[in-house]
Amino acid sequence: MNANWQQHMRELIAADPALLKEIGRGIERECLRVTRDGTLAQTPHPQALGSALTHGSITTDYSEALLEFITPVSRDIDQTLETLEDIHSFVYEHLGEEMLWSNSMPCIVAGDAGIPVARYGASNVGRMKTVYRYGLGHRYGRLMQSIAGVHYNFSMPDAFWERAHALEGGDESRQDFITARYLGMIRNFHRWSWLLIYLFGASPAVCASFMRGRRDHPLIPFDDEGNSLHLPHATSLRMGGLGYNSDAQSSLHVCYNSLDNYLATLSEAILTTYPEYTAYNGKEDGEYQQLNDGLLQIENEFYSTIRPKRPARTGETALTALHERGIEYIEVRCIDVSPFDPVGINAPQLRFVDSFLLYCLLAPSPTCDDREQDRQAANLEAVVNRGREPGLSLSGENGAITLRDWSERLLNEVADCAALLDDAHGGTDYAQALQAQRNKLADPEATPSARVLSEMRENSSPFYSHGLRYSKQWAQHFRERPLAAATKEALEQESRSSLEKQRAIEAADTESFEDYINAYFEQYKALRTEN
């Protein structure tokens, strides 16, 4: 990367602030369907919501009960959130007495047996999605797959990349140039993502039912009855050892120094047998129990706070799409569902994340080795479990530094990017969003994680009751929220069309499931050979 990249890009944006008005954004919000008493719904995915396989806005994640709402790419944060609200309103018209759970950590759960695996029909691609979920359940337990989050998709506009490439690209193709800059953004994000965990983590406690039968955890009872477990200074248990981490994946050092390295590392993890997983080979009740016995079944199994993305074509792996056409956008995956917001996230939060991501893109981003990755992982774990602990120290490039001092330095840098975004959009919304985060540094009790524990304490309510209260509040909000007739009709049409698409896919299948899977995995072998 050109040593003057940061300076040149800031000058470019300052000369034409409108370049930042076309940033692309999209949200994927996950949430559990629950009964009126806060237990996990056992009903299938409502047919009125269409096909989870082919619907563009409403699908399922791991479980039949774990809904996922997806907004299209938008240039306007408020419009994105309004679209997300519309999806929620539409879904509530078809939930009956069920509700959407308001937290990342799940409601009352009755062990793995009480978490139904999502179904996607009889097509090869649908069966593949279900078998993949069987594999996840065997490898990590179904309970982990009941955890929800908010994913944020972010892309710089084409006009920015065109100007930046003309200024800095040299002999590098535009595709390779864009990919290299996104990889630099990702490396920096990994360096500093602990800051987002501190600011937005909202899962410091869990229902005791989530931990039933487990002894190997650091959590302590929140109440005398032991209905809730927590850590006093935790921020996001979802992002720690109770959530999307595993002993198997902890040994995997995924390199973001180049796209080839990234592709090679994940392809090798998919194609290399992990001995403990061979126990899940074979069939149960006529169905395969995993896609393969590799460390990863497919690339999606690698849990990361951020992912490079490129839409895959039919039958194409995500890694192949990246290899052929480079990175198109990034997906931030470390944001907890906020129980304090009807759709789990709000506009000021997104404006800060935009400022933070722009800083990650523009700041110098040296390559990263295994030692630095280990340091990043240790910092993330410390903030997950002890982020609000007074005087908490993290491991910086030059030694120990307090979270408070490092955060202040980062926010001072991010402030410049917030100012660039305010220049582009007019007003001071981005500066105000940044100030709200400064307030959380000055007063850790203002963080979402502290607010959750404070409300539980003040109301003498366990985690379950706290989550149920907000779930009922937002259920009422959406049931009373009017949905424009045109929006309702469009979503109803999408539901009908998605069912037709699923039937067409199933009718068009001509090869066996085994042949389909073998052809799919040949793509990983080709990548391993090339890299």
Cβ atoms 179, 327 nearer than 8 A? yes
| 118-132, 204-218, 478-492: range with lowest mean pLDDT | 204-218
Q: Which amino acid is at 191?
A: R
Cα–Cα distances (Å) from 346 to 21, 384, 407, 467, in that order, read 19, 21, 21, 18
Mean pLDDT of 282-311: 95
Report how many domains make up the chain.
Answer: 1
Please report whether residue 417 resides in a domain.
yes
Token pair for 73: 């790419």
DSSP designation for 204 = S
**Chain segment 212-243, per-residue pLDDT in tens:** 877 788 999 999 888 999 999 999 999 998 86
> Which of helix, strand or coil describes residue 32?
strand
What CA–CA distance (Å, rounded) separates 219 from 315? 43
- Look up the CATH number of the domain holding residue 508: 3.30.590.20
Least confident of 18-32, 152-166, 235-249, 481-495: 235-249
Coil, strand or helix: which one is 148? Answer: coil
**HSE of 61, CA atoms in CB hemisphere, 13 A:** 25
Whether residue 2 is predicted with pLDDT greater than 90 in this model: the reply is: no
| Range from 105-114, 352-361, 429-438 carrying the lowest mean pLDDT | 105-114
User: Over the chain, what is the mean pLDDT?
Assistant: 95
How many Å apart are CA 184 and CA 175, to the nearest integer? 14
| Mean of pLDDT values over 254-258 | 93
Average confidence (pLDDT) over 349-377 = 96
Q: Is 300 domain-assigned?
A: yes
> Mean pLDDT, to the nearest integer, of 511-526?
96
Of 48-57, 131-140, 317-326, 522-531, which range is least confident? 522-531
Q: Are 131 and 289 in contact (CB under 8 A)?
A: yes
- The reply to whether 5 falls in a domain is no
Mean pLDDT of 5-34: 92
Residue type, position 159, single letter? A
Does any domain span residue 1? no
pLDDT in tens, 411-427: 999 999 999 999 999 99
In a domain, 2, yes or no: no
Does 205 reside within a domain? yes
SS3 108: strand
Give dist(CA 428, CA 72) in Å, integer. Answer: 26
pLDDT of 110: 85
Band (pLDDT 50/70/90 cuts) for residue 269 is very high
Contact 145/40 with Cβ under 8 angstroms?
Answer: no
- Exposure string (b/e) for 246-271, b if CB count within 10 Å is 16 or more? bebbeebeebbbebeebbbbbbbbbb
N-to-C CA span, the chain: 22
Collapsing DSSP states into helix, strand and coil, what is residue 39?
strand
| pLDDT value at residue 244 | 60
More reliable by pLDDT, 109 or 131 = 131
CA separation (Å) from 78 to 25, 74, 83?
11, 9, 9
What pLDDT is recorded for position 38? 92
- Measured between alpha carbons, how far is 465 from 462 in angstroms, rounded to an integer? 5
pLDDT reported for residue 246: 65
Residue 70: its pLDDT value, please?
98
Q: What is the pLDDT of residue 530?
A: 75
Q: Are strands 205-207 and 228-230 parallel, antiparallel or unpaired?
A: antiparallel
Q: Kindly report the length of the chain.
A: 531
Closest-CA residue to 517 (of 125, 130, 133, 134)? 125
| Residue 513 falls inside a structural domain | yes
Segment 281-305 mean pLDDT:
94
Alpha helices in 141-258 (DSSP H): 158-168, 174-200, 247-250
Distance CA(181)–CA(359), nearest Å, equals: 12
pLDDT mean over 365-375: 94
- For 281-299, what is the HEC assignment? CCEECCEECCCCCECCCCH
State residue 521's pLDDT score.
Answer: 97
Contacts of residue 450, defined as CB under 8 A and 6 or more positions apart, other chains included, come to 204, 388, 444
Do residues 379 and 393 touch, judged by C-beta distance below 8 A? no
> What does the block give as tokens for 352?
């800060």
User: Which range marks the domain in which residue 443 is found?
Assistant: 13-530
Residue 418 forms part of a structural domain: yes
Name 362's Cβ contacts closer than 8 Å, sequence gap at least 6: 5, 6, 9, 10, 417
